[in-house]
Chains A and B, each alone.
Chain A
Amino acid sequence: MNTPPTIFDILEKHLSKGASFLATQGIDYQKNVFTLNVQQLQPSNISITKGDIARVGLLPSGSKWRQGLGWYSVFGVPFQLQNKYWLAVGAEMIVKHVRGDTHPIFQAYIFEFTQEQLSLIITGLQNIAQEIYPNSKSIRQSKTGVVFSNFQSPQKYRIVESFIIQSAIAIYREGQTLLFRTVILSDEQLKKIDYPAPNFWGDKSGYLMGTTTHIQNTFTWQARLKLFLCRTYTFK
C-alpha cells in the first residue's frame, strides 16, 4: 500500500534542487535530545553552521507542543547572515513518540535571496501549494497579517495553507521579503526575538501567518489578543 507523501517529502521534491543548504532538526530518542544538522547542497564559499541556524531563530520555539499534534506548518523565513539575504523555506511538524512525548521536527531549505534563486523559490512554492491543495489558485493582491479559520483538522486546513503560500508567492514575485507561516503551532512563534514585530497596520506587517481556533484556544490570552489585533482575513 502506498503511503501519502509527508510534507517533508513534498518539500524535498520541489525545493532540494535549487537550495544552498538544508537544515534539519530531529530527535535522538536514545539520548532524548534534539539533533540539528546542516548540509550544504550547492558548492559555495559561504558556510552556514548549526549555531547560525539556532541564532537566526529558524528552529521551532518553546516547550508546549501537544496542542499541535498531527499538524504541520510550512514557513518562509527571511534572514540576514554574513552580509547576505537568505530565505529559509521549510516545515515543522508536531509528532508523538511511542513513549508519549510530543515534540517538533523541522526541515528548512535555505536559499540566497537573489533574483536567480527567487525564480526557483517561486516555482518550488507553486508546486508545493498545488500538491498540498490541487485547487490552489495564484493570488494577485496579497494580504499580510494573520489569517483566521476554524478548521479542526490539517486536511481541511489545506485551503488556508494554499492561500498563504500563494499570497507569499505574490509578495516574493515583487522582490519583497515576507515571513510566512501557514499555521502558528505555538504561541512562542509570536515572541521570537528579532522577528518582525506585530503591528496593527496589516498591510505593512512584513509577515503573514495562519491560525485556527482549534490550536489558538490553547494560547495565552495575550497571544490571542495579539492575533486578533493583527487579523487580516477569516476563512469560513
Chain B
Amino acid sequence: MIPIWLTSVTSWFAEKFGGKIVAFGLDKIRTKLQSVFASRNILILGDSQTGKSSLILYLTTGKPYQIENGQISAPEKTSGYAVVDKKVTVNDNQLVVKMDLAGEQDMRSLWKMAIEKVRPVGIIYMLNGRLEKDELENEIQEIFDDVLCHYEGNQGAGLEAIHLFVNFVDQWGINNVEIRNKLRKISQSFDKRLNSKPSLLYLRVDVSATQFSPHKDSWIEADRALFSFGSDLL
C-alpha cells in the first residue's frame, strides 16, 4: 500500500517539474544517441618509438604513462597491434581510438589493414622531432608511402584530416622561435609533397609540437595539438 503523503508529493512533483524531467530525459537520450552515432574513428601512426602508445594513454587516461607497483613508467614497446577501442572527447568532439599499432617498417602491412578496417576520419602521425633534417624528410616521405598512398584517388575512404605531432619538443625545442622554425620546415616539406597529389588536396593538415614526458606534471603542448585536431574533425 503506497502512503497517501507519497502519492501527494509525487503528484505535486510531477505537476511542477514533469515537463522539465521529460525534457531532461530526452536531452540525455539525444546526447547519448549523438555520442553513439557521431563517434568517429581515428588512428595514431608513426615510426617506432615516437610516442604513439603514450599519446593513446594520454587520450584514454589523462596521463601519458602507466603506474605499475607504484612506479611510473612509459608504455612498453608495442608488438603487432593492440585493440584499444575507447571513446575519447577531443575539443568537444567524440572520437574513437581503435588501435595501437607498431611502427616498425616490417609491420607496416598492419597499417594498411587498420586503415581498411577502421576507416579513420582523422590520423595523427607522430614524428620524432629529435631527428636531423634528412631523417625527418625521410619520415615525411613515409607518411605518403605508407599511409596516404592508400587514399590516393579514393576520397570516399573518409579521411578528413591528418595532423603531424612533432614529439619530444622538451628535448629539441630550445625556444619558441626554434620550435616555430622546425614546424614551418616540416609543414613546407609535407605541403610540397601534398601539392603533387591532387586527389589529397582536400585534406586538412596541421603540424604541432608535443611532449609526453612521464616526468612532467602537465602536457600543454599536447592539449593544444589535440584541440586543433579535434577542431579539424568537427
Residues of B within 8 A of A203 (CB): none
Give A163 Cβ to nearest chain B Cβ, in Å: 27
Interface centre among B75, B78, B79, B106 (most CB of A within 10 A): B79
A59 touches B80 (CB 8 A): yes
B83 touches A188 (CB 8 A): yes
Known contacts A33-B48, A34-B77, A55-B113; is A63 also within 8 Å of B82 by CB?
A: yes
Query: A-facing mask of B34-54, CB < 8 A → 1, else 0?
Result: 000000000000001100010
In this complex, the interface size class of chain B, counting residues with CB under 8 Å from chain A, is 20 to 34
Number of A-B pairs, beta carbon distance below 8 Å: 81
A60 touches B83 (CB 8 A): no
B76 touches A63 (CB 8 A): yes
Q: What does DSSP make chain A's interface, helix, strand, loop or mixed?
A: mixed
Q: Is B68 positioned at the interface, with any CB of A under 8 Å from its CB?
A: yes
B76 touches A66 (CB 8 A): yes
Known contacts A34-B102, A36-B107; is A61 also within 8 Å of B76 by CB?
A: no
Q: How far does the alpha carbon of A52 sit from the alpha carbon of B102 in the complex, in Å?
A: 15
Known contacts A32-B49, A54-B110; is A102 also within 8 Å of B83 by CB?
A: no
Q: Is B27 positioned at the interface, with any CB of A under 8 Å from its CB?
A: no
Q: Is A231 positioned at the interface, with any CB of B under 8 Å from its CB?
A: no
Q: How far does the alpha carbon of A56 sit from the alpha carbon of B108 in the complex, in Å?
A: 13
Give B147 Cβ to nearest chain A Cβ, in Å: 15
Residues of B within 8 A of A145 (CB): none
A51 touches B79 (CB 8 A): no
A34 touches B81 (CB 8 A): no
Interface centre among B77, B108, B117 (most CB of A within 10 A): B77
Q: Can you identify 19 A-B contacts, CB atoms within 8 angstroms?
A: A32-B49, A33-B49, A34-B107, A36-B104, A54-B107, A54-B108, A55-B113, A57-B80, A59-B79, A61-B81, A62-B79, A62-B80, A62-B82, A63-B53, A64-B75, A103-B76, A188-B80, A188-B82, A191-B83
Instruction: Identify the A interface with B (CB < 8 A).
Output: 25, 27, 32-36, 49-52, 54-55, 57, 59-66, 101-104, 188, 191-193
